[in-house]
Every structure is written in C-alpha cells, then in structure tokens.
Amino acid sequence: MDRKYLLIIILLLPGLCFAQNETGKTLAVQTNEHTDEQKPPVPEEQLKQEDEQPVPDEIPSRSIRFLDVSHKLITEKFDLLAHKIDVFFGGERAYDEATGSFIELNLSIQKDEGTPTINRSKVRAKLELPNTEKKLSLRFENEADGTQVSSGGSQLTSDIIDTTSSAAFSAVLQEGKLWRFNSDVGVRFNVGFEPFVRFRGHGKQQFDVWRSRLKGSLLWKESEGNEIKTEIDFERPIGEAFFFRVNSVAVWHERVHETDYGHSIALYQNLGRSRGIVYRISMRDINDPAEPDKSYTIDLAYRKRIYKDWVFMEINPAQIYREENDFERNGQITFSIQAMFSHKKH
C-alpha cells in the first residue's frame, strides 16, 4: 500500500505545483487590477520569459578580474624590487639573469686573521649576437687569485696562485614570463683546454607576499664528469626598506660521489638610492675528500655607488667558524670595487 500512495503523490505533484503557480499568477493579476494606476495585466508569455532569464553573474566575475589584476600588480612590483636588489648588490643572480651586452670588472682584497692577503680579480663579459632575437650570446670569464708574500724585509710582492678562464656560447632554449631554460657550450683554458656543456633553468612562483625561485643546472666537464646543482630561494619584502631571503643550495659531484650543501638567511636594507647593507648568516658543508670544509659565517656587506650608475664600492667584514679550526672565531674583511660597462640596464 505504501508504494501505491507514493506513486499517486508523484503523479499528482506536478499538477498541484502547476495549479499553485496558476493561482499565484491569477492573484497577482487581480491585485494589480485593484491598484490606483490600473496597470494592464502582464502577458503570460512575458512572465515566462522573465522567469527563464538567468540571474546576472557580474559580481563574481568582477571579483575574479580584480583578484587577477591585483595578483599581476603584486607580482610585477615584487619582480622589480627583487631585480633592483640583485643588480645593486651584484652576484651570480644578476649575472645569470642579465640582459643585453656588458662587461663587468671586479677587484677585491681579502684579509684573514693570521694569513696573507689575497688579491682577486674577475672579468666577465656577455655579447649578444646580432640577428638572433637575443637568444644567442657569447660569454667570457677570467678569474685570478693572488697572495701577497714578503720578499726581503717589509717589501711585499704578489704571487699569482690560480687563474681560470672560460668562453662559451649561451643559447636561450625556452623562455616564458616566469621561467627560462639555457644551454652553454664552451671551453675552460688554464693549462690546456677543457670542454664543458651546461644546461640551466630557473622558475618563479608567487605566494601572496612570498615568492619562491628554483634554479637547477647540469654541468659536464671533461676532467670531473657531471655536476648537478639545485638552488631554491624564499623571499619577501618587509616594509619599504627591507627585503628578506632564505637560500638553500645542493651540489652533487660525480667525481667524488659527494654532495655539498649551503644555507643562508639574508636581510637587505635600502639606505637610499646609492647605499645598501645586507646582513647574513650562512652555513656550508663541502664534502670534497681532498679539501673538506664545514663552516659557519656571520657577515654584513655595506655597498655604495661611488660614480654614476656603474662603479660600486663594498666593504664586507665577517666572522667565520671553521671545523678545521675547531670552530674557533676567525675574522675576515674584504674590500672590493666593481665596475659595469653596459649600454643597456639589467
């Protein structure tokens, strides 16, 4: 019996709903007839068309457009701020992501407690080849380390202990707004020639006020085999004057089948258009059997633009705690001058 009653209700329900709908329409027409303005009844077809019209969805679409525009503006502002910091303080990030042709010259003097002074010079150049849509360039690097040693009384001379040079063709394989892949094919020449091939890639991802940057590279050298490097940054601005960055890097060497690690926390402070300071704490663990090194470093670097937009001076005092010295404190100070010759800003 229950099933029969249920079947009867299902059959009668559409009719009851239709009757109720018609009754409501009739009451609406009758109510309209008794108004002061005596408006004519609305045709039934027009009522059906009004009922069938979809509810406008303007508010959600406007909200989505607003969020998209806000995210784009925040990302662009973040990119500009991070790029300015990297260019001002120099380093590998500015070199890897630089556009246009340029020549960069670095001269530095480093003094550690109880050790001779080390002089370093580095020249790096990039030449974008014409008619390649900025996708093919020629890169050159030369780095020399020298140690000052005494030669009779207080006279000092400089003895070059290591010089490394390389030249390579660099090509942009794929490029997007937030990622890029490059390849380098070249030679290193110190004592003889050593060919190398390197593939590099990096990408960025925005998370509200935080941003992550992931970099990876695969390097092959004839004498050492493969080297795989992975690096990741997490960074964010803090107010108008500070920028915070956490960096982690790992490098695997096929020659020794070991992995080196490095971690750092840095806070960049903007002191105006021509001055800046970076406060940094870092750790590195080098697992090379020939020269193992585990150390902790606390340092700051004061950097100032001393001539127009292309000559910089930097003073970098540091306290280093090395495992080979039983983690005893060792003072270090480095003074450097950098000059950038370029027809195009980075």
Query: Which strand (E) or helix (H) includes residue 19?
Result: helix 2-33
Domain 75-342, CATH among 2.40.50.140, 3.30.300.130, 2.40.160.40, 3.30.70.141: 2.40.160.40
Query: Which strand (E) or helix (H) includes residue 59?
Result: helix 58-89
Q: What are phi and psi of 318, to 5 degrees?
A: -150, 155
- Contact in structure between 267 and 288 (CB atoms under 8 Å): no
CA separation for the pair 313, 276 (Å, rounded): 11
Q: Where are the domains of the chain?
A: 75-342
Render pLDDT for 48-105 as a digit per residue (tens, 0 to 9). 455 555 545 555 566 666 555 555 555 666 667 777 787 778 777 767 767 778 899 9
What mean pLDDT is predicted for residues 266-283?
94
Q: Sorting pLDDT into bands at 50, 70 and 90, what band is 154?
A: very low
pLDDT computed for residue 246 by the predictor: 97
Share of the chain above pLDDT 90, in %: 43
Q: Which residue has the higher pLDDT, 291 or 35?
A: 291
Kindly give, in sequence order, each residue whose CB lies less than 8 Å from that of residue 273, ignoring residues fewer than 6 positions away.
Answer: 305
Nearest to 120 by CA among 150, 96, 97, 143: 143
**Does the pLDDT value for residue 215 go beyond 90?**
yes
pLDDT computed for residue 264 by the predictor: 97
- Contact in structure between 316 and 333 (CB atoms under 8 Å): yes
| pTM tops 0.75, yes or no | no
**Tokens of residue 283, six digits:** 């750790």
What mean pLDDT is predicted for residues 210-229?
92
**Does the pLDDT value for residue 153 go beyond 90?**
no
Q: Which residue has the higher pLDDT, 140 or 36?
A: 140
pLDDT computed for residue 69 by the predictor: 53
**How confident is the prediction for the chain on average, in pLDDT?**
79
pLDDT computed for residue 193 by the predictor: 86
Q: Where are the beta strands (DSSP E) in 191-328?
A: 192-207, 210-221, 225-238, 242-253, 258-270, 275-286, 293-307, 311-322
CA separation for the pair 221, 229 (Å, rounded): 14
- Contact in structure between 332 and 110 (CB atoms under 8 Å): yes
CA separation for the pair 342, 126 (Å, rounded): 10
Q: Sorting pLDDT into bands at 50, 70 and 90, what band is 346?
A: very low
pLDDT computed for residue 45 by the predictor: 55
pLDDT computed for residue 247 by the predictor: 96
CA separation for the pair 212, 37 (Å, rounded): 67
Query: Where is average pLDDT lowest: 52-66, 93-107, 300-314, 323-337?
Result: 52-66
Most confident of 39-48, 62-71, 152-161, 306-315: 306-315
Distances (CA, A) of 13 to 7, 9, 17, 23, 299: 10, 6, 6, 15, 81
Q: Which residue has the higher pLDDT, 177 or 42?
A: 177
pLDDT computed for residue 343 by the predictor: 62
Q: Sorting pLDDT into bands at 50, 70 and 90, what band is 207?
A: confident
Q: Where are the beta strands (DSSP E) in 63-112?
A: 102-112
Query: Where is average pLDDT lowest: 156-170, 174-188, 203-217?
Result: 156-170
CA separation for the pair 119, 334 (Å, rounded): 10
What mean pLDDT is predicted for residues 194-210?
91
Q: Which residue has the higher pLDDT, 24 or 280?
A: 280
Q: What are phi and psi of 95, to 5 degrees?
A: -70, -45
The DSSP output letter for 73 is H
pLDDT computed for residue 62 by the predictor: 62
Q: Which residue has the higher pLDDT, 192 or 69?
A: 192
Written as one string, the DSSP assignment of 119-178 is EEEEEEEEEEPTTSTT-EEEEEEEEEEEEEEE-STT-EEEEEEEEEEEEEEEEEEEE-SS
- Contact in structure between 282 and 262 (CB atoms under 8 Å): yes
Share of the chain above pLDDT 70, in %: 70
Render pLDDT for 37-50 as a digit per residue (tens, 0 to 9). 444 555 555 544 55
pLDDT computed for residue 198 by the predictor: 95
